[in-house]
Structure 1
Amino acid sequence: MGSVVLVTFAGRQQRMEILTSYVRKALERGLIDEWHIWDFTRAPEDHDWVSNEFGPVRYMHADVPYMPKGSLSKSSSFRMRASIGSDLHLALLNPADPDNFFEFIIGGWDNQGCGLRKLSREGLKTFDREFEPYWIRPTPGVLSNGSANDILLQLDPSGVPSLFVNGVFIGSWPEITIAEEASVMVRGGFGADLEILDVTDSVRRYIGQPQEKAPYYRSYDYYAKHQAEYAETVFLKCDDDIVYMDLDKLNAFIDFRILNPHYLVLSANVVNNVACAYWQQVAGMIPRELGQFEYPPEYGGSLWQSPEKANALHDFFLSKTIKALPLPKQVIEMSGARVSINFIAWLGKDLKHMSFGRASDERTLTLDLPAFLKRPVGIFSDFTVSHLSFGPQELGLHVERLLAGYEKLMRQTLGLKEPERVADLPHLAVA
């Protein structure tokens, strides 16, 4: 079996910071190999946090504006390997001209030409272009749609840039001189998504279409298109508001997933998950005083919509000495019933079944596909995670108090120090 890849749909900073500590520790221990953060953020401040926290961009939807990629100087050329069939754009930011940038268009006009513009830096945030490039050259078929494209931008000793694409000289511009190190940003555009193949960091970002209402299908579509690459991979997918993870049992969860390929999807034993709560109560792990945790086979249920039940369940779990709510047996098999996919695992070989378009990923993965393929969904008892909230629970959930409790638990579990308060720091103490 190949690598273990964790996929997370990001994200809300307030909810995701605790998860980040657990995942970075899992990477450190070698429990997982890669963390793919799909940026489906809506608030600008969350997008900025994700951009600053989680490493370089591997994939960008065509509608994503410029993102940083590297730098260019007389002593260091800019190189990139890219998968894109047209409309690759490079932005060259000269520190001597803080108000403007140069835009290199590679494979524009349906992959028929290359061009160069000089634009205000406001143009980094938008696709609007009011005038034609001041330099254009016919370059039919300059970008390959079936193999990696090698991009080279270099400076001669006098600071003049030259551009090469797949070993072919595109142009040189004596009117541009770069004396100091310049930044380079990249994007696709006009229907062309960009994948930056030389980004192989263990933690990396994938950016979907900005502000798309239901964007999650894009990640499954991406992996389905790359199924040959990921055929031997074990995939984990978790929500951005997983606030507890029993890392000591994660390896057992992964091993069970590998050794039991008949399950289409395997779920962790999740705190605040309708199906899991039902079986946790059947096993006598959730007392009746907390309420009845029924299990509707299709969707919803009282836990899903009740902040009071969610608060009580989280408080009960946080109060337990042993952070586990064992099920009646090691694995509960589910057929014909929907399961919330707060933390699940699937095998790369099953990506051939995951080109399901814009359909609900949860319903498709736990109800429709299992019925079609006649393969069950499993809930694995011995690996426990805690999921903060469903949307309907938000109205009355004690978010700040619960996050404080889970952060304390995380620090105890991972052996991290408590954050120092300003008053505790002598040189910052308030008089």
Structure 2
Amino acid sequence: MEILTKYIRKAINDGIIDEWHIWDFTRSSEDSDWVTREFGPARYMGSEAPYQVKGAVTSRSSFRTNAKIDHDLHIAILPNGEDETCYEIVVGGWVNTHSVLRSINRSDLNNFASRAEATTIWSKSTPGVLSPSLPNQVVLSIDSAGAPVLQVNGVTIGKWPELNLGSGASVMVRGGWGADLELCDVNAPVRRYVGNPNEKLPYWQAYDYYAKRLERFSSAVFLKCDDDIVYLDIEKLNEFIEFRRANPNYFVVSANVVNNGVCAYWQQQGGALPDDLGHFERPPGGFGGSLWQSAERATQLHDYFLEKDDKYLPLPNKVIEWTERQSINFISWLGKDLLHMALPKGDDEYALTVDLPTFLDRPTAIYADFTVSHLSFGPQEHGLDVDRLINAYDALSSSRL
């Protein structure tokens, strides 16, 4: 993903794309920590996503945010100079009827089961404190005596003179108990969207997010790419976007992908892949096939592409219309088609390339003149010399950017 990051930041700097939304569906704490360090502030958190750092509060500067959430806004205050204790404010808990302040160990912040053992410092009836229709204006300040004061939508929710935050504090936020949280003041071009952890097929969360915000994104062109895209023809990216915009009859349009079964079939049909690389068959129904399951074949294909000077793999035609399943390693759709994309939990690839195109009677397509390279499928990973290939693609990126 470090390689992909170089290409995307170049595209942002060149004005080709406007925003990069990194959806955090990581499965390990190490990967989550890396994504959190490398990319911008969190814009959105699923209801089960852990606390995210949002800012700080001092006696000279308030903490402010605009939070879109229906109930159960959680704010963690981590006093500077203290290693263990922190405070948690729940705004609009209990179905937006009550708010509380707790003292809690930092190690228990993301363990909701520990709340029964936490010390409740303050509790108050706050009926309707959070608005479900507009971003809620949240202001946390510290008065001259070091006491924290919280205001929500211009109303003082609480002031706690028994706490002393004179040294300042870090502030973290999250949703909870079924409430997703969107921080509407986060508008950086690179931003994170944190999905709920431990879901087997988590990707529906991203489609659900955008489909519920159709009005905001209706004029956008979406590019969806896997995290292991290791080459991207930056010179042809804008051309691909313009083709996508100009051809609304296609439901999704795929790049010409290295290490993609359907693309490999068409690449060989177009004369781009020589016979001595072996036969790349048309995957049955567009899924699986010999390339998809073979580390050896993937390695040969990557090596062939890396050794090519022009990094171009022509297809029989500039546009290949397609009505079967295909891997969605790098695809594009139009924002107006979010009208049809409130996908349920399940196989998003099948939904985007088979179910919806069939239902809407709109084919998909592969665009020949924009090439990307996809590192690996799951069945290929055992036996693939990943480090060697990543080093080679990293060197390629350095020579191209």
Residue 242 of structure 1: which of 216, 221, 229 is its match?
229
Aligned partners of 1:81, 1:145: CA distance in 2, in Å?
12
1:134 alignment partner in structure 2? 121
Letter in 2 for 1:268: A
Residue 392 of structure 1: which of 373, 379, 383 is its match?
379
Contact 2:53 2:172 in 1 (8 A): yes
Structure 1 window deviating more from structure 2 (142-151 vs 173-182): it is: 173-182
**Is 1:66 the counterpart of 2:39 in the alignment?**
no
1:8 alignment partner in structure 2? none
1:30 alignment partner in structure 2? 15
TM-score where L is the length of structure 2: 0.98
Residue 369 of structure 2: which of 382, 392, 398 is its match?
382
Aligned partners of 1:319, 1:95: CA distance in 2, in Å?
54
Residue 321 of structure 2: which of 325, 333, 336 is its match?
333
Letter in 2 for 1:65: P
Aligned partners of 1:133, 1:107: CA distance in 2, in Å?
15
2:337 alignment partner in structure 1? 350
Structure 1 vs Structure 2: percent identity of aligned residues?
57
**Is 1:49 the counterpart of 2:38 in the alignment?**
no
DSSP 3-state at the match of 1:369: helix
Contact 2:147 2:166 in 1 (8 A): no
Q: Deviations over 1:214-260 (max 9, x none)?
A: 10111001110111110001000000000000000000000000011
- The equivalences for 1:267-416 within 5 A come to 267-295=254-282, 296-335=284-323, 337-414=324-401
1:122 alignment partner in structure 2? 107
Aligned partners of 1:38, 1:289: CA distance in 2, in Å?
39
Structure 1 window deviating more from structure 2 (125-134 vs 396-405): it is: 125-134
* Residue 359 of structure 1, CA deviation: 2.7
Aligned partners of 1:297, 1:65: CA distance in 2, in Å?
39
* Residue 61 of structure 1, CA deviation: 1.1
Letter in 2 for 1:149: N
Q: Deviations over 1:98-120 (max 9, x none)?
A: 22011111001111011111111
2:208 alignment partner in structure 1? 221
Contact 2:142 2:166 in 1 (8 A): no
**Is 1:208 the counterpart of 2:195 in the alignment?**
yes
Letter in 2 for 1:290: L
TM-score where L is the length of structure 1: 0.91
DSSP 3-state at the match of 2:23: strand
2:181 alignment partner in structure 1? 194
Change (3 A) 1:359 1:96: closer
**Is 1:178 the counterpart of 2:165 in the alignment?**
yes
Aligned partners of 2:194, 2:102: CA distance in 1, in Å?
26
Letter in 2 for 1:339: Q
Aligned partners of 1:167, 1:294: CA distance in 2, in Å?
64
Letter in 2 for 1:190: W
Aligned partners of 1:24, 1:304: CA distance in 2, in Å?
29
Q: Deviations over 1:11-31 (max 9, x none)?
A: xxxxx1111111111111111
Letter in 2 for 1:145: P
Aligned partners of 1:221, 1:106: CA distance in 2, in Å?
25
What's the C-alpha RMSD, in Å, of the aligned pairs?
Answer: 1.0
Residue 89 of structure 1: which of 65, 70, 74 is its match?
74
Q: Deviations over 1:294-349 (max 9, x none)?
A: 112242111111111101100100010100101111100012x1111000000000
DSSP 3-state at the match of 2:292: helix
Gaps of 5+ in 2: none
Aligned partners of 1:212, 1:248: CA distance in 2, in Å?
37
Aligned partners of 1:298, 1:407: CA distance in 2, in Å?
30
Contact 2:261 2:287 in 1 (8 A): no
Change (3 A) 1:240 1:188: same
Letter in 2 for 1:47: S
Letter in 1 for 2:301: L
* Residue 133 of structure 1, CA deviation: 2.0
DSSP 3-state at the match of 1:302: coil
Q: Deviations over 1:155-179 (max 9, x none)?
A: 1122211111111111111111212
Aligned partners of 2:50, 2:318: CA distance in 1, in Å?
47
Aligned partners of 1:347, 1:175: CA distance in 2, in Å?
54
Q: Which runs of 4+ in 1 moved over 3 A?
A: none
Gaps of 5+ in 1: 1-15, 415-431
* Residue 123 of structure 1, CA deviation: 2.0
